[in-house]
């Protein structure tokens, strides 16, 4: 197998599944090159519904060059409310044009302010906030410019079609007519920090009850890809632990880091509980992200080891845990079944028909590990990290019961070349279920530094 980029191996992605060279070129040269539209699953009441019964205003926003968290903060600031009253269905990348669902509690449609780079459409009211479960998936239209080897796209496509295993082929599914392709359902680089992948290190330290180490991983840990002033400030933190002086050095754009350090200056930095409180200085969704990223890195390592052992992704082996589909045909990880030797052939047929999916764990306190060789992989990854499912029992936003996740993602892919010989672009169209990353598919075609994805 072709080895992954070193930056990817740091977050548990060890290989490509396609051996063909990439097409070259650049993704995200401009926001229009990365378009995402959510596939929503939300019912709303009319805008004049009783705000007492339906306190959340639901709206669709098309954002240009907006990080989801930053847009939520800007909206809350304009409204003069806590950011905790703003919710959304899925977090999106900044350098893109994204159409996504939001809600805000306790405001009227006419209260929504104009925000630069945001086109807002009020949909109605709801009795609860928009949540991550309200997102079925996303449709992508991605353009790669300055393509050097467009012919390699068909080679990669063929190899990704083969990775589907049984049942792969031509399809006219959710993405329109195209070739059905499959990739491992890795968590992409964005999950861990696109420029400085450390959020999983923060989470792993939290799970190990090392809150000081978690703060140091986030506020310290200088990276050569960062601006010089940022690297110097992080290095100063690591060398001195002088938190008051660090506030003068940390650039203003490092808002979360500054919030943590400010809390340490207020409360002191003499105990693990002081550092625990510092971590709580950031928004609750960011607190959750730390532990989620730790779970994601362990999951990625389990998938990489399964690849290395040559085990299938599109069908089970004895000991695997599979999930079945929901009413939309998407993986439903509340419907799990452990596959014993006598059920392998039957469940394989379900997988080939798209009715079941092999899973791996996002480890938490209620996780039951697989049996057989997949169980060996899961235990080995946890042993190497020095962790067990019970270690994920923490207070507040750092607690996690865990879940399971399909290990393979399948989509109908279209690839269109530019209109003439001088148009050296390729445009990729596809849809993915909620939680799956477009960059995990595109990395196979570009074979590039993940920062460029």
Annotated catalytic sites, by residue?
93
Whether the CA torsion 249, 77, 199, 185 is positive or negative: it is negative
Angle at 191 between CA 408 and CA 413, to 5 degrees: 40
Exposure on the CB side of residue 338, measured as CA atoms within 13 A:
10
| Residues 355/361, Cβ–Cβ less than 8 Å | no
Between the CA of residue 196 and those of 19, 49, 208, 285, what are the distances in Å?
27, 45, 21, 19
Quick check: 231 and 257 in contact, CB under 8 A? no
Task: Indicate the burial class of 229 (C-beta count within 10 angstroms; 0-12, 13-18, 19 or more).
Answer: exposed
Altogether, the residues listed in the chain come to a count of 453
Residue 196 structure tokens: 């400085």
Q: How many CA atoms lie within 13 A of 252 on its CB side?
A: 0
How many angstroms separate the CA atoms of 423 and 300, rounded?
37
Pick the closest to residue 304 from 384, 214, 208 (CA basis): 384
CA of residue 163 relative to chain centroid, distance: 22
The full 3-state SS of 184-199, as one line of letters, equals ECCCCHHHHCCCCCCH
Q: Please identify which residue in the block is written with the tokens 């079925």.
A: 136
Say how many Å lie between the first and final Cα of the chain, rounded.
Answer: 21
Q: Tell me the Ramachandran region of residue 439: left when phi exceeds 0, alpha when psi lies from -120 to 50, beta otherwise.
A: alpha
Q: Cβ neighbours of residue 432 under 8 Å, at least 6 residues apart?
A: 137, 138, 140, 409, 411, 438, 441
Which string of b and e fits 267-288 if b means at least 16 CB within 10 Å? eebeeeebbbbbbbbbbebbbb
* C-alpha radius of gyration, the chain, whole number: 23
The DSSP call for residue 4 is P
């Amino acid at each position: 197998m072709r080895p992954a980029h070193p930056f990817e191996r740091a977050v548990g992605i060890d290989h490509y599944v396609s051996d063909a060279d990439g097409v070259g070129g650049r993704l995200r040269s401009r926001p229009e090159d990365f378009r995402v539209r959510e596939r929503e699953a939300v019912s709303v009441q009319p805008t004049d519904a009783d705000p007492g019964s339906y306190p959340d205003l639901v709206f669709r926003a098309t954002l240009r060059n907006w990080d989801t968290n930053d847009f939520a903060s800007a909206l809350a600031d304009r409204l003069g409310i806590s950011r905790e009253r703003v919710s959304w269905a899925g977090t999106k990348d900044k350098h893109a044009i994204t159409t996504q669902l939001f809600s805000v509690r306790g405001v009227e449609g006419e209260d929504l302010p104009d925000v630069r780079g945001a086109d807002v459409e009020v949909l109605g009211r709801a009795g609860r906030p928009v949540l991550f479960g309200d997102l079925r998936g996303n449709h992508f239209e991605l353009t790669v410019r300055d393509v050097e080897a467009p012919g390699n796209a068909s080679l990669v496509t063929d190899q990704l079609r083969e990775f589907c295993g049984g049942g792969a082929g031509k399809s006219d599914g959710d993405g329109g007519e195209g070739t059905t392709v499959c990739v491992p359902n890795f968590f992409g680089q964005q999950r861990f920090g696109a420029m400085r992948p450390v959020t999983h290190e923060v989470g792993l330290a939290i799970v190990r009850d090392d809150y000081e180490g978690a703060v140091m991983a986030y506020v310290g840990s200088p990276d050569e890809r960062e601006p010089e002033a940022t690297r110097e400030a992080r290095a100063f933190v690591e060398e001195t632990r002088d938190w008051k002086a660090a506030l003068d050095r940390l650039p203003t754009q490092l808002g979360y880091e500054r919030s943590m350090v400010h809390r340490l200056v207020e409360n002191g930095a003499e105990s693990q509980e002081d550092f625990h409180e510092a971590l709580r200085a950031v928004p609750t969704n960011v607190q959750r992200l730390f532990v989620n990223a730790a779970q994601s890195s362990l999951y990625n390592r389990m998938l990489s080891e399964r690849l290395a052992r040559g085990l299938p992704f599109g069908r089970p082996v004895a000991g695997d845990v599979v999930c079945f589909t929901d009413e939309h045909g998407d993986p439903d990880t509340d419907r799990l079944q452990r596959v014993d030797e006598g059920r392998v052939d039957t469940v394989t047929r379900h997988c080939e028909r798209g009715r079941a999916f092999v899973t791996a764990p996002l480890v938490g306190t209620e996780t039951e590990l697989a049996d057989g060789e997949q169980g060996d992989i899961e235990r080995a990854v946890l042993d190497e990290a020095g962790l067990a499912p019970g270690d994920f029992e923490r207070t507040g936003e750092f607690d996690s019961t865990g879940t399971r996740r399909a290990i393979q993602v399948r989509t109908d892919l279209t690839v269109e070349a530019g209109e003439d010989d001088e148009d050296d672009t390729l445009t990729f169209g596809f849809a993915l279920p909620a939680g799956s990353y477009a960059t995990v598919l595109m990395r196979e075609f570009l074979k590039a530094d993940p920062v460029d994805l």
